[in-house]
Structure 1
Amino acid sequence: MGDVVRAPWNGYFVTGFDACSEVLRGRNWLAPDFAWQERQDDTGRWDAIATREMTKTLSRLNAPAHTCQRRTLGNLFDRSTIDRLTPVVEAHVDRLLDELADKLQWGDADLVSTVSEQLPISTIGSWLGIPPEDHPHILEITHNQVHAQELLPTKSQLAVSAEATVRLRAYFTGLVAQRRAAPADDVLTGWIHTWDGLEPDREAADEILYRLTMFVTIASLETTATLLSAMVGLLLGEPGRWGWLREHPEHVDAAVDEVLRYDPPIHINSRIAAEDTVLAGVPIAKDSMVHVMYGAANHDPRRNENPDAFDVLRGGSHLTFGGGVHYCLGAALARLEARTLLTALLERFPALRVCAPPSYASRMVFRRVTSMGVAI
């Protein structure tokens, strides 16, 4: 249908790899922030509590606010941070696979609830100092909150998201307050020191700290969990593929990248035209919304030959982590978790198989895997 396809509303789907890359990296494409929302005729669409709360986070900010907050975070998961986190992730993987092994002794097990969802919250939780007993609570409200980030959320979905948003705010403002009262040698304490130096108003600083901590947490959960589940499902989907990768562990990183290309955890991201422009030959008026289709871009045959084939040795490219100023903060961490889990699964469960195919939540943006049965 073309690289840019008119949507049934006032927007455009962007499907081609190069066109999607241009939108993600171009300076004349902006996130749909409050300023843009206030210029729309249907402002009521953006008044939902959860929508407004997410508009305050990094993913919806533009310069200069985005630049300021991003700089305070630095390169969150640089080489030294990943090196420090590696033994932590390995310990979490060992613990979770022990639990999986115990369940598999008695039959099949749900990989999602046992491993895929637990590894990201265990990792980010230990990094930020979120107590393990709070992990189930964080997972529950994160699952409910993301409805607000859908393309066309229903009123009932927005109501669920509104309740979850209130609970997220209560939890993470409480976490910031606790860390102020009892500083520790952790990331959040460092952020507190940074923002106290940048923002003389303590209340304003705490508001920014709440949003940063909340966003970094929820952004790392469902996306990584879906990556982990899709990775196992795809690699077990063809006879012999699991065994081959076990014999060739040097290709584990390539396998993870092919999963990211083939079935990205997020399928849609939206941007706004900062001015009248032309995208892939299609005139786009200022303030028009375009929807970057990650899955379609990754399957563009002009970029990846025979794109619908899952090929670990492809050596192709993808846009799954986005691009430009909004490139995913946690890309390196997601890769670390996927690589560590896959390496351990291949070693410990050579006969692993899928006995119940993955079930997906009914969503367009976040491809959450809700369950997937495995057995040996």
Structure 2
Amino acid sequence: MTAVGDTTGTTLDRRAVISLLRRLRSPEGQSNPQPVWHQLRALGDVVPAPWGGYLVTGYDVCSEVLRGRNWLVPDLAWQARQPNAERWQAPATQAVSRGLFRLNAPVHTSQRRALGNLFGRTTLDALAPLVAAQTKRVVDELAERICRDGEADFVPIVSDRLPVLTVGEWLDVPARHHAHILDFTHRQVHLQELLPTKSELAVSAQATADMREFFTGLIRERRADPGSNVISGWIRYWDEQFPGDPAAADETVYDLTMFITTASLETTATLLANVVWLLGRSEEQWQWLWRNPEHIDDAIEEALRYDPPIHVNTRIAADDTVLAGTPIAKDEMVHVMYGAAAHDPRRNENPECFDILRNGAHMTFGGGAHYCVGAALARLEARTLLTELLGRFRALRPVSAPTYAPRMVFRRVTSLKVTT
């Protein structure tokens, strides 16, 4: 059993917690979630969720959950034990739960080992020129649009496109398919909300069907005509693990391809848009970084802390335990609130201040066995883009505040108008 942090001992009003979570999904909460995070933290490090389980708000407690061996992800075995069959047995939920982020040991260990150091130094060095070329391409288009119209929307021109151009080139997926991949990724993610509606699950189900049709077709093509590309390499590896059973190998390759592709798009796109919004809204801050480009990495880390692309992650208690003085029963859910944790003043002083030189702490890429496999690639894309933007624009200013999709879990900037 483990114990971390402290609780207030306050009797919580269920309606108050529901109200805060609704605000987090509202336009007001999307544009500025910090007051909601502050109020949730004020309720305690571990806050009972209205639907059961707990919201975890304090930095140290969130770290304990993400890194502790007593906490699992809600895999298919856990889902099968839940009474809410409509939610957990939905086709989209079942399909996405075969992805790496919803696997526990030993299956997770096996698949993670098969990927190796997916974005290690050798891979990143090989990708860097490709990322640089794609970055120049989208920034050229941004500059042309601003020159022509006086302003441009950064999201469809740059932040949505650069991740799919990068991953598409890495997986050798032709550019004509990129818009389709983005479309089903945006639709499929609804099922990962804390309480998805029936209509959201239906949208996710259709997106999952579209995703399966596309990726199984891609894998079939690679099996028929293998090459030196990443997917062909995965096929060869899993053929060795499932000798004489190519269908099992292809299913595993599908799960990996689906997970790696979709997981690397929206989160990175949000990071790229956030960096431009957080730096560009202060001309003095943009000018300072323009004069001090050696702090580009510091600016990216502070953007990751200040507004994480994922606001909530979920874990399950492997055994009866105690967290921050709160007894947690085996199989109970806890929801790690990344944003609330990163703005915990006990860990990051004056957390509402965006400070490039903070050198603060965040858990935006998770922790422990499920640390994000694409963290290094996301940082490479952000670093390359910010370097290109600073080299091209002495100033890049938002015309207005960004707009967001009405979500609580996966953050998504849908529009960010900018000018020079």
Shorter-chain TM-score tier? over 0.9
Q: TM-score, normalised by structure 2?
A: 0.89
Residue 296 in 1 paired to residue 331 in 2?
A: no
Query: Quick one: which of 209, 219, 234 aligns to 1:176?
Result: 219
2:79–2:89 contact (8 Å) kept in structure 1: no
Cα deviation for residue 50 of structure 1 reads: 0.9
**Partner secondary structure for residue 381 of structure 2:** helix
Alignment-mate amino acid for residue 172 of structure 2: G
User: Structure 1 residue 352: deviation in Å?
Assistant: 1.5
Question: Shift of the alpha carbon at 1:39?
Answer: 1.4
Residue in structure 1 matched with residue 279 of structure 2 by the alignment: 235
- Contact 2:280–2:395, Cα closer than 8 Å, also in 1: no
Is 2:110 the counterpart of 1:68? yes
Match runs of 1:150-169 below 5 Å: 150-169=193-212
- Cα deviation, residue 43, structure 1: 2.5
Tell me the SS of whatever aligns to 1:240: helix
Q: Please give the secondary structure, in 2, of the residue aligned with 1:272.
A: strand
Q: 2:369 matched to which residue of 1?
A: 325
SS in 1 for 2:256: helix
For normalisation by structure 1, the TM-score amounts to: 0.99
Matching residue within 139, 151, 162 for 1:119? 162
Letter in 1 for 2:227: A
Aligned to 2:119: 77
Question: What are the Cα deviations for residues 326-350 of structure 1, in whole angstroms up to 9, with x where unaligned?
Answer: 0000000000000000010011011
1:188 alignment partner in structure 2? 231
Q: CA RMSD in A?
A: 0.8
2:397 corresponds to? 353
Q: Which runs of 5+ in 2 are unaligned?
A: 1-42
1:225 aligns with 2:272: no
Partner residue of 2:22? none
| Other structure's SS at 1:105 match | helix
* Structure 2 counterpart of 1:111, one-letter code: F
Give the residue type in structure 2 aligned to 1:117. Answer: D
Amino acid at match of 1:296: A
Give, in angstroms, the shift of residue 40 of structure 1: 1.6
1:279 and 2:323 correspond = yes
Partner of 2:69: 27
Structure 2 residue aligned with 1:148, among 182, 191, 208?
Answer: 191
Return the offset for 1:165. 0.3
CA deviations on 1:280-314 (whole Å, 9 max, x unpaired) are 11111111000000001111111111111100000
Q: Provide the C-alpha distance between the structure 1 equivalents of 2:45 and 2:393, rounded to a whole number of angstroms.
A: 42
Aligned to 1:244: 288
Partner of 2:312: 268
Q: Partner residue of 2:51?
A: 9
**Paired position in structure 1 for 2:177:** 134
Q: Within the alignment, does 1:93 sit opposite 2:169 as a pair?
A: no
Q: How many residues align?
A: 376
Q: Name the structure 1 match of 2:40.
A: none
Which of 355, 366, 380 does residue 311 from structure 1 map onto? 355
Contact 2:283 2:397 in 1 (8 A): no
Counterpart-to-counterpart distance in 2, 1:195 and 1:133: 28
Q: Which residue of 1 aligns with 2:247?
A: 203
User: Aligned partner of 2:328: which letter?
Assistant: I
Give the CA deviation at 1:10.
1.2
Are the counterparts in 1 of residues 310 and 338 from structure 2 also a CA contact under 8 Å? yes
SS in 2 for 1:226: helix
SS at match of 1:195: helix
For 1:237 and 1:353, locate their aligned partners in 2 and report how far apart those are by CA, in whole Å: 6
What CA distance in whole angstroms lies between the structure 2 residues aligned with 1:322 and 1:182? 37
Q: Structure 1 stretches of 5 or more lacking a match?
A: none
3-state SS, counterpart of residue 278 of structure 1: strand
CA distance in 2, matches of 1:33, 1:88: 36
Q: Which runs of 4+ in 1 moved over 3 A?
A: none
Q: How far did 1:9 drift?
A: 1.1
Pick the aligned partner of 2:80 from 28, 38, 41. 38
Shift of 1:171: 0.4
Alignment match of 1:258 (pick from 290, 302, 305): 302
Letter aligned with residue 136 of structure 1: A
